[in-house]
Structure 1
C-alpha cells in the first residue's frame, strides 16, 4: 500500500502534461502511485501518459471510453486508489519540488489528520508567480490539529480539491463523490471540511496553479454555468442527511448567494439572452434553500444584494451593480488625482526646504530600497553614532521594517513631508542603492554609495549588453543618479575597477573594505551561541546557510535544490538555514523539521555568524563569508545560463571560494563526506580571501566615518594583515561551556 495516491485527470492538455507528470515523478518522496485518468482526450495526452507508465511502474493509466468531465474522471481514479492518502492534481498544474516530502512530514507530525490543507501559487504564461492571497490563513497560530469550528476562516480559501491531502478511509466514511458538470468542487469540498474531525495545515506552496493565457473552461460563455444550481442542491442534500452539521446551514447559504451572484456579475460566464432566466433561478434557489430565521443587514452591501435576489429584482440589481462599478472607477480616479496633488504639494515643500541652510549634523541613511536597517549603511550608521555622538541620524524605511531600527535613530517614512525635509537639509546621505529620482543634490551635500556586495554579475552600464537582465533600465537616469555620488565604498581592487567602469562618473573610490563584515571581527563566542539559540539550532548540530541569489531569467522563487531531500540525505546532525533573496517574499521555501526558513531575519551577517558553512550559487554573500574564513560550497547547476543572461566579471567556477558542485548529487557528496571543510576547500578559500577581502579586518566602517564625516585625511586605521585577523570562530570550534557548579 503506497503512502499517497496522486490522481491526475487528463483532457486536451498535451502541451502541459509532461511538466505535470515530471513534477510528480521527480519528487524526492517516492512512496506513491500516480493514477492518470485519460478522459477520452482528443489529443495525444493518452499516448503521453502511456509512455510514462511504460517507463515507471508507479504510473498507471485508466482510459475512459467516453468523455465524462473532470468530476467523474476523478471518481474513476479514486476507485482505483490504494494509498493511505489521496491527492488530486489538475493536469496543467505542477507540484513544487519537495512538496510530497513536506506533505508526508506534516501528516506524520500532526497524527494522520483527516485533511491536510496546503498552499499554492498562481503561475502565469510570462513566468510570473503570485502566492495565494489568503495564504495567511495557513499560518500555524493555534492548535496544530483542529476542526472547522475552531478555524472557520478556512472557508475563505478557494474551494478546490487539489490543495488538500485526504485520508482515504475518511473519504470512505463520509461517502461523498464528485458530481458531473461545472463547479464540481462545491459539493465535494464543503462536506469534507465540515465532516473532518481533524484538520491540519501546511504553510508552504506545494502546487503551481497554471493560469492559462486563454483562460480555462469556467471562463467560457455557456449555459453550462446553470449547473451551479444543481451542485448547491447536492450540497444542501448532504447537509439534510447530516443533522450534526446543521449549524453550518446559514454559513453555506450565504456562501451560495455570494457564489451565484458572482457568476451573474462576471461578464464572460452567461450568454446575454440567458441572464434573466439565471436571475430567476437565483430567486427560486433562495426561496427553496433559505434557512429558518435567516436575516441580513440592509446597511451592508451584501444585505442589499441578498434582498434583491429574494425579490427577483434583476434590473435593480444590475443598476446598482453598475453604480457600484462607476463609484469604484470614480474613486480610483479621485485617488489618482489626489495622489498627483499630494505629490505636487510635497515637491513644492521640498523646494521650499532646499532654500533653508543645510544641517551640518544630520545624516540620512537607507538600504535595499527602504527595506530596513541593514547592510553597509547600517554598519556605517552605527559607527558614526559611536565616533561622532553629536551627529543625528535618520533612516528611510517603511513601518513594516521599523522594528529593525536601533534606539536613537529617527525613522523617515518614504515620500512623507519629513522625508523630503531631511533630503533637502541633510549634509550627508548614505545608501547602498539610489535615492528617489526627484531628489536633487545640493551644493554642500555629501553622497556616499556603499553598494551591497562585491560584484560577480554585471552591473551598471555593463548591463547594456544584457537586455534581458537590464529589464528596460533607464541608463540615462541611472547615470544622472551616479553623478550625485561623492564617494563609492569598495571592498577590494576588483570592486574598485568594476564600480569605476560600470558607473562612469567623478566620484572618489574609498577602497576601505566591506563595512557590513566588521561585525565578524567583533562577535564573541557568546554572541555566536546566542544567535544559534535564537534561531533554534541545536548546540550539537552543523548549521549550513543556504543563500541562493536571484535569476534574471526567472520570475518568482523557483528552488534549484530539493532541500527536504538534501536534509534527509545529510542526516539528523545537519540543519539547513534557508535564506531566499530579498526580492522574494519570506515563507516560499519548503517545510521540514531540519530546515529553518530565515528569509525574514533582518541581518544576514548574524546568520553568517550562526552558521558553520555557506552553500550558495552566485550570491555576493560568498565574498563576505570568505572574509569570515568559514567553508563555502558553490552549487552552480545553471552556470552557463546565468553567465549568458546576466554576464559575469570572472569565472567563479575556475576561481571559487571552496568546492564546486554542478548537481545536487555532487553537492550531497561534498557535504556528506566532509570534504566541504577539508584541506582543498581551505586552500581555495585562502586564495579567494586574499584576492577579494584584503581590507575586511573589522575597521572598514571606521575608515569611512573618519574620512567622510570627521574629515580625517590621514591617520585612518591601518589594515590588519590577513594572518593576524581573527574573525569569530565557527560554533564547532568554540570551547564547551563549563558545567554548572552545584549549589552549596
Structure 2
C-alpha cells in the first residue's frame, strides 16, 4: 500500500472511551492510512462498537480474540496484520489530533527518519486537555542524552504510542512486545529506539487520558514483580549489544524510578498490601537496589534528578 500508515488500536473493555478514539481517527487529514482494531476478548460493549465502526469504514480491519491475551499480544497481532510501510500505536482510551498522521508523516519525509515521535498532552478522564506535556526539560548532561537514553533512564516516559515506525523495525523478533506482562512498553521502547535515526515532531498530536481505573494507575503485586524481570531483560540486552557505561547507569536509574513509581501510586491508593510486598522484595533483592543507587550516584549521570521520596526510602533501608 505504498506509503500507507497502519494504525493499530488494541481494545479491551473500553466502551466508555472507544467512540472518542475512533472518531478522532476517522477525521485524519492524511488520506493514506488503515485502522487495525484488535479486540482482546472484551466483555463489555466494545466489540459491538468496533464492529459498527468497521462496517462503516472502508479502511478498517477488525480482529477479535476469544480470550484476553494482553496489550503486548494485541499489538504484535496488529503488526502481523499491518499492510502499510509505517505503523502507529493508539490506545483505545486516548484520542489524537486531526493532523496526527499528517504531522508525523511530514516530519518523516523531511528527515528520512525511521522513527518519528510526536508530543503528548495529558487529558483528564472526562476529556479535558491539560497544559502540561508528558516530556520534561532535558537534563544537563554532556554529551546530551539521546532519545533512546532518555527513554532508557525514564527521563522521558517509555511509551510506544505517539510514534511513527518503519514497519521493518517491528518485524524484528528483538522488538516484539512482551506477552502477558504489565509495563510492556518498558521492555520495548528503549530497544526499538536504540541506534535508530529518529526525529521529533514539535506539535501536540496525541492526548493521553488519565483514568483512575487504568492499568497505568493501578499497582498490584504482579506490577512489582516486573521490576526484577525488567532488570534481567535489560542487562541481557545491553550486554549482548555492548551497552555503554552510561546506558547501564541509565538502566539503573530506571530501576530506581520504577520503585519510586510503585511507592507513589501505592501510597496514593493506600495499597498497604503492595507496600508490604515491596518491603519483602527489598529484603530479598535489596543489594540490587543498593548497587543501582551507588552506580547512579557515581556515574556521569549523577546530576540527573532522583525523587527525594525515593532517596529517603532507600536511606531508611540502609542504602545511604
Please say whether Structure 1 and Structure 2 have the same fold, judged by a TM-score greater than 0.5.
yes
Structure 1 counterpart SS, 2:92: coil
Kindly state the Cα deviation for residue 90 of structure 1 after the two structures are TM-superposed: 0.5
Write the distance in 2 (CA, Å) between the matches of 1:110 and 1:204. Answer: 16
* TM-score, normalising length: structure 2: 0.82
The Cα offsets for residues 493-532 of structure 1, whole Å up to 9 and x where unpaired, read as xxxxxxxxxxxxxxxxxxxxxxxxxxxxxxxxxxxxxxxx
Match of 1:200 in 2: 199
Whether 2:69 is the aligned partner of 1:71: answer no
Whether 2:45 is the aligned partner of 1:44: answer yes
Write the distance in 2 (CA, Å) between the matches of 1:294 and 1:120. Answer: 31
- Segments of 5+ residues of structure 2 without an aligned counterpart are 139-143
Kindly state the Cα deviation for residue 169 of structure 1 after the two structures are TM-superposed: 1.4
Match of 2:141 in 1: none
Kindly state the Cα deviation for residue 21 of structure 1 after the two structures are TM-superposed: 1.1
Kindly state the Cα deviation for residue 151 of structure 1 after the two structures are TM-superposed: 8.3
> Larger RCO: Structure 1 or Structure 2 (Cα < 8 Å, ≥ 6 residues apart)?
2
Kindly state the Cα deviation for residue 135 of structure 1 after the two structures are TM-superposed: 5.0
Q: Is contact 1:95–1:208 with CA below 8 Å preserved after alignment?
A: yes
Q: Is contact 1:121–1:130 with CA below 8 Å preserved after alignment?
A: yes
Matches within 5 A, 1:691-702: none
Of the three residues 250, 271, 274, the one matched with 2:274 is 271
Larger Rg: 1
Write the distance in 2 (CA, Å) between the matches of 1:66 and 1:19. Answer: 25
The Cα offsets for residues 46-85 of structure 1, whole Å up to 9 and x where unpaired, read as 1211222222121111111210111221111112112111
Q: Is contact 1:194–1:245 with CA below 8 Å preserved after alignment?
A: no
Structure 2 counterpart SS, 1:86: strand
The Cα offsets for residues 605-664 of structure 1, whole Å up to 9 and x where unpaired, read as xxxxxxxxxxxxxxxxxxxxxxxxxxxxxxxxxxxxxxxxxxxxxxxxxxxxxxxxxxxx
The Cα offsets for residues 680-721 of structure 1, whole Å up to 9 and x where unpaired, read as xxxxxxxxxxxxxxxxxxxxxxxxxxxxxxxxxxxxxxxxxx
Matches within 5 A, 1:511-530: none
Match of 2:215 in 1: 217
Kindly state the Cα deviation for residue 36 of structure 1 after the two structures are TM-superposed: 0.6
- Segments of 5+ residues of structure 1 without an aligned counterpart are 139-146, 321-744
Write the distance in 2 (CA, Å) between the matches of 1:13 and 1:87. Answer: 19
Q: Number of aligned pairs?
A: 302
Match of 1:226 in 2: 224
Matches within 5 A, 1:258-297: 258-266=257-265, 267=267, 268=269, 271-283=274-286, 285-286=288-289, 294=295, 296=297
Kindly state the Cα deviation for residue 203 of structure 1 after the two structures are TM-superposed: 0.7
Write the distance in 2 (CA, Å) between the matches of 1:89 and 1:280. Answer: 39
Runs of 4+ in 1 over 6 A off after TM superposition: none
Q: Is contact 1:174–1:192 with CA below 8 Å preserved after alignment?
A: no
Query: 1:171 and 1:272, CA in 2 relative to 1: closer, same or farther beyond 3 A?
Result: closer
Kindly state the Cα deviation for residue 137 of structure 1 after the two structures are TM-superposed: 5.6
Match of 1:728 in 2: none
Query: 1:282 and 1:166, CA in 2 relative to 1: closer, same or farther beyond 3 A?
Result: farther
Structure 1 counterpart SS, 2:232: helix
Structure 2 counterpart SS, 1:105: helix
The Cα offsets for residues 384-436 of structure 1, whole Å up to 9 and x where unpaired, read as xxxxxxxxxxxxxxxxxxxxxxxxxxxxxxxxxxxxxxxxxxxxxxxxxxxxx
Match of 1:183 in 2: 183
Match of 2:170 in 1: 171
Kindly state the Cα deviation for residue 228 of structure 1 after the two structures are TM-superposed: 2.2
Kindly state the Cα deviation for residue 89 of structure 1 after the two structures are TM-superposed: 0.5
Write the distance in 2 (CA, Å) between the matches of 1:254 and 1:124. Answer: 29
Write the distance in 2 (CA, Å) between the matches of 1:22 and 1:295. Answer: 45
Kindly state the Cα deviation for residue 28 of structure 1 after the two structures are TM-superposed: 1.4
Query: 1:42 and 1:193, CA in 2 relative to 1: closer, same or farther beyond 3 A?
Result: same
Structure 2 counterpart SS, 1:178: coil
Kindly state the Cα deviation for residue 13 of structure 1 after the two structures are TM-superposed: 0.6
Match of 2:252 in 1: 253
Write the distance in 1 (CA, Å) between the matches of 2:184 and 2:307. Answer: 27
Query: 1:216 and 1:308, CA in 2 relative to 1: closer, same or farther beyond 3 A?
Result: closer
Write the distance in 1 (CA, Å) between the matches of 2:147 and 2:184. Answer: 26
